[in-house]
Amino acid sequence: MNFDFSTYPLHTGGYSRRPMTLLNPEPEAMLSAVTEIVLMETGNRSAREQWQQTQLCNLIKHAVQRSAFWRTRIGDSRLSDIELASLPILTRQDLRQQVDSEGPLLRAADGIPTKAHTTSGSSGIPVRFFISDFNSRYNVIRSIAQSFMEGRDLSLNRTRVRQADAPVKNGISVERQPSWIGPLSSLITVGANKHIEFIALYDTTLCRKLIDELRRDSIGYLVCNPRLIDTLGSTFDFDFLRETKTAMWISLGESVGPHLIEAFARLAIPIRQNYSSEEVGMIGVECMKVPGHYHVATSNVMVEIVDRRHVVGGIKLGKVLVTHLHSYATPLIRYDLGDLACLLERCPCGHDGATIHNLQGRASSVIKHRDGRLSPFLIRGKDLAALAEFTEYRIRQTGFDKIVIEIGGRSKLSTDEVSAIKAFLEQRAGQEFEIEVRACEEIDWGQSRKRLGFRCEL
């Protein structure tokens, strides 16, 4: 690695005025933390794996000492002799049981603040767990470290767009901050941070308002989920992204469809997909050179693939298990995320570290057939919008032969609209399914914060 900061836009704000001191404490601590992560994830593999094993033993020891739940699962074996693959898989139900019966395993005397957190609810009812202050800080630093590892231009803006969890005044809210790299901004000239929340995906007036807001400033790094991009593209031309100097789309939450990959290729705007979860934070980041391959965030998690009997598109996939090495508040050891993928020892690009590929997202994001087959099920909002007007939609597979689609913002649908929607979904899912089309003024999303367009409930 070449430690050369000559290309970075540095300024003197972070340099210390005290004798025998180089940097002020805040940027020094942040730079040190970023460097540690880069060292761990790009450095010597054997040293990294030894560190991971040590951290795994530390976590298991902590869990056994503090938790009857974990003592029952792990037993009385010598902790240093335990192999990760020998431990039972942790399900969401197991996680609920441990949290409900024992609460956080970090105590006030440990001096590490904890707080309750929940999953987004994309797989059903949100799961409650606890995270430490360290987890929150790590997630911020890991995101910044990725920019250093890829050599991204830090002087560009960062624009985060997400659908609001609750009603927003005038339908859209905007917050601006002068920096997106925290204390390092006193040392390195960095772009502004802009956070936009809006309430309705398929409201044309609000989408126009959102695009007008995006046009106000240079976008730089656009951070949002594919459904937002898909929605905007169903009504508006993507050229505004090039006009507003979008340097990269950082995709979160869902896989990017081929139509969006092609559209951004035409715009010459690179896409970088992240693989993360509420429970553990960053799991992997898409390779710069080999799309569809995710370098595992080895400073944060250990990843396993088990039960490789799930066939999607002719490819055998297994369940993704993650062990969160810093999960001291609520231990997550061999935790089943509900995702399907394959795992390589190293990336085809040459990166010497575990690499996830053929990631299908949650098992709930594919169609399940009676004969055990799984089929990808990608629906574009643009295609549905051509069949009927709506403010939102949700598709659910409720049985091996039943699919229900809810069309929001409508009290009723015409016979022609219902017929067109049924024909469209039958073409995508197969003739074996009964399609039920429901009109509703507002979709009841329950406790879920992640409003997925499709979810298999089997």
- Three-state secondary structure string covering 126-186: CCEEEEEHHHHHHHHHHHHHHHHHHCCCCCCCEEEEEECCCCCHHHEEEEEECCCCHHHHH
Beta-bridged to residue 356, according to DSSP, are 294, 343
Indicate whether 121 belongs to any domain: yes
Q: How many structural domains compose the chain?
A: 2
Same domain for 278 and 409, yes or no, is no
Alpha helices in 166-285 (DSSP H): 204-215, 226-235, 239-243, 258-267
- pLDDT for 1: 56
Indicate whether 327 belongs to any domain: no
- pLDDT for 43: 92
Same domain for 281 and 386, yes or no, is no
- Contact status, residue 328 vs residue 62, Cβ threshold 8 Å: yes
pTM assigned to the model: 0.82
Indicate whether 316 belongs to any domain: no
Q: Whole-angstrom Cα distance, residue 328 to residue 152?
A: 32
- Residue labelled with tokens 């797989």: 123
Q: Beta-strand (E) ranges in 330-388?
A: 335-344, 355-362, 366-368, 374-376
Same domain for 384 and 266, yes or no, is no
Beta-bridged to residue 439, according to DSSP, are 407
Which residues of the chain register pLDDT less than 50?
363
Same domain for 29 and 170, yes or no, is yes
The CATH number for 154's domain is: 3.40.50.12780
DSSP 97: H
Beta-bridged to residue 195, according to DSSP, are 160, 175
Indicate whether 34 belongs to any domain: yes
Q: Which of 297, 326, 349 is the last residue of a domain?
A: 297
Same domain for 263 and 403, yes or no, is no
Closest CA to 281 of 269, 270, 296: 296
For 263, how many CA atoms within 13 A lie in the half-sphere containing its CB?
Answer: 19
Q: Whole-angstrom Cα distance, residue 215 to residue 194?
A: 12
Same domain for 261 and 383, yes or no, is no
Q: Beta-strand (E) ranges in 287-351?
A: 293-296, 301-312, 315-324, 335-344
**What phi and psi values does residue 17 have, to the nearest 5 degrees?**
-100, -5
Same domain for 283 and 397, yes or no, is no
- Contact status, residue 407 vs residue 391, Cβ threshold 8 Å: no
- pLDDT for 13: 86
Indicate whether 344 belongs to any domain: no
Give how far Cα 234 sits from Cα of 40, 262, 382, 385, Å: 42, 15, 4, 7
- Contact status, residue 418 vs residue 410, Cβ threshold 8 Å: no
Label the pairing between strands 220-224 and 246-251. parallel
- pLDDT for 379: 74
- pLDDT for 118: 84
Indicate whether 151 belongs to any domain: yes
Q: Whole-angstrom Cα distance, residue 117 to residue 131?
A: 7
Indicate whether 437 belongs to any domain: yes
Indicate whether 5 belongs to any domain: yes
- pLDDT for 124: 52
Same domain for 47 and 185, yes or no, is yes
Give how far Cα 376 sits from Cα of 232, 315, 368, Å: 23, 12, 9
What is the widest separation between alpha-carbon atoms in the chain? 80
Q: Which of 243, 271, 297 is the last residue of a domain?
A: 297
Same domain for 289 and 437, yes or no, is no
Q: Which of 247, 268, 297 is the last residue of a domain?
A: 297
Domain hosting 390: range is 379-456
Beta-bridged to residue 158, according to DSSP, are 193, 221
